């Protein structure tokens, strides 16, 4: 299963990408997380449906200091996830 998430709220400058990276890596998911220019955080995650469901729950909770107002989700095709490697933070300093 491959899913694209867009998280809206206070999710930049509060360690949200690092939180997502830790959660996704612990679940054994492949993919990436990055900030958007619009102040949101974008996630693409691939793996077992049960693990994606666990990540979804954590994304809605958010990290300490964050505020999640909305999680917009789109399922992608399996082919779109074939090139994804170990979960990483894109654009990290």
Please answer whether residues 41 and 16 qualify as being in contact, where contact means their C-beta atoms are separated by less than 8 angstroms. yes
Burial class of 17 by CB neighbour count within 10 A (0 to 12, 13 to 18, 19+): buried
Please answer whether residues 87 and 32 qualify as being in contact, where contact means their C-beta atoms are separated by less than 8 angstroms. yes
Active-site option among 10, 17, 22, 56: 17
Task: For residue 44, give the 3-state DSSP assignment.
Answer: strand
Active site residue 64: no
Active-site option among 30, 35, 56, 60: 35
Active site residue 17: yes
Positions marked catalytic: 17, 35
């Amino acid at each position: 299963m491959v899913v694209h998430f867009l998280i809206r709220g206070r999710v930049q400058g509060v360690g949200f990408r690092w939180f997502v990276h830790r959660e996704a890596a612990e679940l054994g998911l492949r993919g990436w997380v990055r900030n958007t220019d619009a102040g949101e955080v974008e996630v693409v995650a691939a793996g077992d449906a049960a693990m994606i469901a666990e990540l979804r729950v954590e994304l809605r909770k958010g990290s300490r200091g964050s505020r999640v107002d909305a999680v917009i989700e789109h399922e992608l095709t399996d082919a779109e996830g074939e090139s994804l490697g170990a979960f990483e933070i894109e654009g990290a300093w």
